[in-house]
Amino acid sequence: MRVATYASHSALQILKGAKDEGFETVAFGPSKVKPLYTRYFPVADHFIEGKYPEEELLELEAVVVPTGSFVAYLGVELVEKMEVPYYGNKAVLRWESDRSLEREWLEKAKLSLPRIYEDPDEIDGPVIVKPFGAGGGRGYFLASSPEDFWKKAERLGVREKEDLSRVQIQEYVVGVPVYPHYFYSKLNGELELMSVDRRYESNADAIGRIPAREQIDLGISTDYTVVGNIPIVLRESLLMDVIEAGERVVKAAEELMGGLWGPFCLEGVFTPDMEFVVFEISARIVAGTNPFVHGSPYTWLRYDFPVSTGRRIAMELKQGIAEDRLGEILT
Ligand code: AMP
Ligand code: AMP
């Protein structure tokens, strides 16, 4: 068996972790990035050009580790149909890609969630408007009143109530962004806290460098294009809340969709009242784990060797082989 993934996002970490666990590795993607994975960072033993070279992957007896890029570029339908074994539960994809199903899942897990406005004319405080299917925070905008909403929504082609199915209007929660990364081992029935990051976003993280008066004069609006990730270590008294939120998400997934296993991430903010308000779940490895190729403070507390999320996935695959239980974790 070989470990394969799409050449972007968190592939360096996934493939490095797989090699550390003794697997041969495969990267696939555009030929332009081949040197990145084979020469500058020699983590891929094989590089195949293509978005998803199914034949070659089957021949190599590869298992695909999905990332945000793999799912984004292939699309949920193709991923559901793919024949190469996939690490994780594919049933989760539907729940995650549909904002109403995702909401049902997070509500069942009893997480604190931002209020959703079905009717923009009810907006009575700051909101963040998210077009459906927007990748990486592109096209989001902030509004503070119904008039403000309708004025700004126009550039998305949203002019009347019939067009509202294209966007979700969430209460804008004021707090600091915190993205905890988890790993649920289906083989051991245990949840692990792997690491925590926040994103470095353009231009959201640039606006504070401009004095308020100039901000208004320049008419700057906020974008959330991810450029990188910054590690966070949480205040220790917050850890139990974060861990319990993860446990409840796993439990809700067992009831709703046959389970969630492997890496996942809750994306939210901590408010001044120390409440963790979650606005999204990523049900696979997030790129925010990339600062921790050599492990994080949290994995170091649990393991006596450097464990990244990528390596943790490979450890689970290795255990699956050793215990003859791979079938339980691949779909
Ligand atoms: P890419 O392959 O870099 O074009 O990314 C594919 C998807 O993963 C996009 O939706 C990105 O927003 C997301 N993504 C990529 N890199 C990161 C990162 N470092 N942090 C958060 N999200 C990311
Ligand atoms: P997302 O694409 O949902 O991960 O969000 C992109 C950016 O918008 C991140 O910087 C988040 O911190 C911010 N964000 C998303 N939803 C909310 C919300 N309901 N309240 C405050 N900030 C948010």
The CA distance from 239 to 219, in Å, is 39
What pLDDT is attached to residue 135? 64
Same-domain check for residues 155 and 188: no
- Average pLDDT of the chain, as a whole number: 96
Helix and strand totals (H; E) in the chain: 13, 13
What pLDDT is attached to residue 136? 64
Residue 127 CB-half CA count within 13 A = 28
Same-domain check for residues 101 and 41: no
The CA distance from 61 to 83, in Å, is 11
Looking at the CA of residue 137, tell me the nearest atom of ligand 2.
2
- Among 4, 71, 80, smallest CA distance to 286 is for 71
Q: How far is the CA of 56 from the centre of ligand 1 (A)?
A: 25
Is 133 a residue whose pLDDT tops 90? no
User: What's the total number of domains in the chain?
Assistant: 3
What pLDDT is attached to residue 156? 87
Does any domain span residue 214? Answer: no
What pLDDT is attached to residue 220? 87
- List beta partners, residue 265: 181, 282
What pLDDT is attached to residue 52? 97
Give the burial class of 200: count Cβ atoms within 10 A of its Cβ; 0-12 exposed, 13-18 middle, 19 or more buried.
middle
Instruction: List, for residues 175-197, the tens digit of each pLDDT value.
Output: 999 999 999 999 999 999 999 99
Task: Say which CATH number the domain at 136 has.
Answer: 3.30.1490.20
Same-domain check for residues 324 and 235: yes
Instruction: List, for residues 233-284, the tens digit of each pLDDT value.
Output: 999 999 999 999 999 999 999 999 999 999 999 999 999 999 999 999 999 9
Looking at the CA of residue 201, tell me the nearest atom of ligand 2.
10
Same-domain check for residues 107 and 121: no
Same-domain check for residues 106 and 120: no
68 lines ligand 1 (CB under 6 A): yes
Does any domain span residue 323? Answer: yes
Q: Which ligand is nearest to the CA of 288?
A: 1
Average pLDDT, integer, range 160-168: 90
Does any domain span residue 208? Answer: no
What pLDDT is attached to residue 44? 98
The CA distance from 242 to 311, in Å, is 22
Same-domain check for residues 166 and 179: no
201 lines ligand 2 (CB under 6 A): yes
Does any domain span residue 144? Answer: yes
Does any domain span residue 253? Answer: yes
- Label the pairing between strands 116-117 and 24-29: unpaired
Measured by CA distance, the residue closest to atom 11 of ligand 1 is 136
Assign 164 a pLDDT band (cuts: 50, 70, 90). very high
What pLDDT is attached to residue 48? 98
Best mutation site among 9, 33, 36, 225 for ligand 1, i.e. most ligand atoms within 8 A of its Cβ? 9
Best mutation site among 230, 279, 280, 281 for ligand 2, i.e. most ligand atoms within 8 A of its Cβ? 279
Same-domain check for residues 196 and 64: no
Q: Which ligand is nearest to the CA of 280?
A: 2
Is 109 a residue whose pLDDT tops 90? yes
Q: What is the H or E stretch that residue 201 is in?
A: strand 190-203
What pLDDT is attached to residue 311? 99
Is 134 a residue whose pLDDT tops 70? no
Average pLDDT, integer, range 13-38: 98
- Domain range for 44 is 2-86
Is 132 a residue whose pLDDT tops 90? no
Does any domain span residue 179? Answer: yes
Same-domain check for residues 186 and 234: yes
Task: Say which CATH number the domain at 256 has.
Answer: 3.30.470.20
Does any domain span residue 207? Answer: no
What pLDDT is attached to residue 137? 72
Measured by CA distance, the residue closest to atom 4 of ligand 1 is 69
Q: Which ligand is nearest to the CA of 127?
A: 2
Same-domain check for residues 39 and 63: yes
229 lines ligand 1 (CB under 6 A): yes
Assign 114 a pLDDT band (cuts: 50, 70, 90). very high
Same-domain check for residues 106 and 250: yes
What pLDDT is attached to residue 98? 86
Q: Which ligand is nearest to the CA of 137?
A: 2
Same-domain check for residues 103 and 244: yes
The CA distance from 178 to 152, in Å, is 28
Same-domain check for residues 155 and 37: no
